[in-house]
């Protein structure tokens, strides 16, 4: 089990499929066919849902099942673990606080949380959000893996997470390279708590969830999922999918990946988040650089300030991907905040056992969803 959990974190389809669209929906699309083929694979996810907004038009596609036991079809109102899409929330919150004057994106760890990561005192907040800090990845620390494997449901406090790499040296000089690290967003969340005197959960509620009407979003401290939820599965060839929805406590990801939300809430968020981050990025030198989200999104990926640019054949969109046991997400929108895609897969699709082909098919379907959104 411990090896399975570490693989999760390092990186029989039900014959239900359909599309629910706004009035004057077209005949079954190319996207629908792609989703149906993905869930039909013997290592494919049990279900997929795709919510697309194009101005006043909304399309909702689905294939397979949200719950293997009941065969229930996916819905746009079901809760899912959003994994690293939560990093976008962290960046959005940092930009809001910078606009209020509570902090600056050039503030350092040493100026706000001295002693938490002694070897990274000079790392700036924007370097944390851009994954150019050089901080090592706490998820890859052997002791973290040992404790997680011993009790996957156990609660980790944020300072416990940074403690796993507290005395490790930086992997490179801050700002000199790109390297995706969950530790970056844990440190950013701690800075945001320190400058406001409020918990990260409280900040999300007050500055993100409530203002944007995201009533179905939360940052849980236990393995329990809010109802209703799209079940997440571990899938292996020729075996029944294993439900891992409530296996691992998301507190082990906290500000880096612990949020639970719904496709409807995420669509609302991404159409505000993208323009906000892009406005803040105009003031930064080298706002986007080569860097791939984890897992990779469609097209060519470029890394920015808590956001990625996905350059596809139909145009560019901005957002984030996420990967957590049982879930794989892609959430993106256009620069104007009028069009969006929320693509949810209820299996993580980790490398191996033929799943790379499924992962590639998912990226192609995501690109097709972007094309539909940008039409």
The CATH 3.40.710.10 portion of the chain extends over: 2-83+227-374, 88-208
Q: Do 31 and 6 form a contact (C-beta atoms < 8 A)?
A: no
Q: Do 366 and 312 form a contact (C-beta atoms < 8 A)?
A: no
Please tell me the predicted confidence (pLDDT) of residue 13.
Answer: 32
Per DSSP bridges, beta strands 300-303 and 289-290 are antiparallel
Straight-line distance from the first to the last Cα atom of the chain, in angstroms, rounded to the nearest whole number: 45
121 Cβ neighbours under 8 A, 6+ residues apart: 108, 109, 110, 114
Give the predicted TM-score (pTM) of the model. Answer: 0.93
Q: Do 229 and 133 form a contact (C-beta atoms < 8 A)?
A: no
The per-residue pLDDT string of the chain (375 residues; one tens digit each, 9 = 90 and over) reads 444 554 444 443 333 446 554 333 444 589 999 999 999 998 999 999 999 999 889 999 999 999 999 999 999 999 999 999 999 999 999 999 999 999 999 999 999 999 999 999 999 999 999 999 999 999 999 999 999 999 999 999 999 999 999 999 999 999 999 999 999 999 999 999 999 999 999 999 999 999 999 999 999 999 999 999 999 999 988 789 999 999 999 999 999 999 999 999 999 999 999 999 999 999 887 789 999 999 999 999 999 999 999 999 999 999 999 999 999 999 999 999 999 999 999 999 977 667 899 999 999 999 999 999 998
Alpha-carbon span 365 to 369, nearest angstrom: 6
| Host H or E run for residue 53 | strand 47-54
Please tell me the predicted confidence (pLDDT) of residue 20.
Answer: 57
CATH of domain 2-83+227-374: 3.40.710.10
Please tell me the predicted confidence (pLDDT) of residue 25.
Answer: 43
CATH top-level class of 88-208: alpha beta
Q: Do 117 and 109 form a contact (C-beta atoms < 8 A)?
A: yes
Per DSSP bridges, beta strands 327-333 and 315-324 are antiparallel
* 329 upstream amide cis, omega within 30 of 0: no
Q: How many CB atoms lie within 10 A of CB 171?
A: 13
Please tell me the predicted confidence (pLDDT) of residue 208.
Answer: 98
User: Distance between alpha carbon 120 and the CA centroid of its chain, in Å?
Assistant: 25
- Torsions phi, psi of 157, nearest 5? -75, 150
SS3 98: helix
């Amino acid at each position: 089990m411990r090896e399975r959990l570490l693989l999760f974190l390092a990186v029989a389809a039900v014959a239900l499929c359909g599309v629910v669209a706004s009035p004057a929906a077209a005949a079954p699309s190319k996207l629908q066919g792609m989703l149906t083929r993905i869930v039909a694979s013997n290592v494919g996810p049990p279900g997929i849902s795709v919510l697309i907004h194009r101005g006043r038009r909304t399309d909702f596609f689905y294939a397979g099942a949200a719950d293997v036991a009941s065969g229930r079809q996916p819905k746009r109102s079901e809760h899912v673990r959003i994994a690293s899409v939560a990093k976008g929330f962290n960046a959005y919150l940092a930009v809001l606080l910078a606009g209020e004057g509570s902090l600056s994106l050039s503030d350092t760890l040493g100026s706000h949380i001295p002693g938490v990561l002694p070897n990274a005192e000079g790392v700036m907040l924007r370097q944390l959000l851009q994954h150019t800090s050089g901080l090592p990845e706490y998820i890859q620390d052997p002791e973290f893996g040992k404790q997680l494997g011993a009790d996957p449901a156990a609660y980790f406090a944020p300072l416990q997470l940074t403690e796993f790499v507290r005395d490790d040296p930086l992997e490179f000089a801050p700002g000199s390279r790109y390297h995706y690290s969950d530790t970056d967003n844990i440190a950013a969340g701690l800075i945001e708590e320190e400058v406001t005197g409020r918990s990260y959960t409280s900040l999300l509620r007050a500055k993100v969830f409530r203002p944007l009407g995201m009533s179905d979003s939360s940052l849980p401290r236990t393995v329990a999922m809010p109802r209703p939820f799209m079940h997440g599965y571990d899938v292996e060839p020729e075996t029944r999918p294993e439900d891992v929805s409530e296996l691992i406590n998301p507190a082990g990801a906290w500000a880096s990946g612990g949020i639970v939300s719904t496709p409807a809430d995420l669509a609302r968020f991404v159409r505000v988040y993208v323009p906000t981050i892009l406005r803040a990025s105009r003031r930064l030198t080298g706002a986007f650089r080569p860097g791939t989200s984890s897992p990779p999104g469609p097209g060519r990926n470029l890394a920015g300030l808590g956001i990625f640019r996905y350059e596809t054949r139909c145009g560019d969109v901005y957002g984030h991907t996420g990967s957590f046991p049982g879930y794989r997400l892609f959430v993106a929108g256009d620069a104007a905040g009028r069009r969006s895609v929320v693509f949810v897969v209820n299996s993580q699709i980790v490398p191996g056992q033929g799943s790379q082909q499924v992962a590639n098919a998912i990226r192609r379907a995501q690109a097709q969803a972007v094309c539909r959104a940008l039409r």
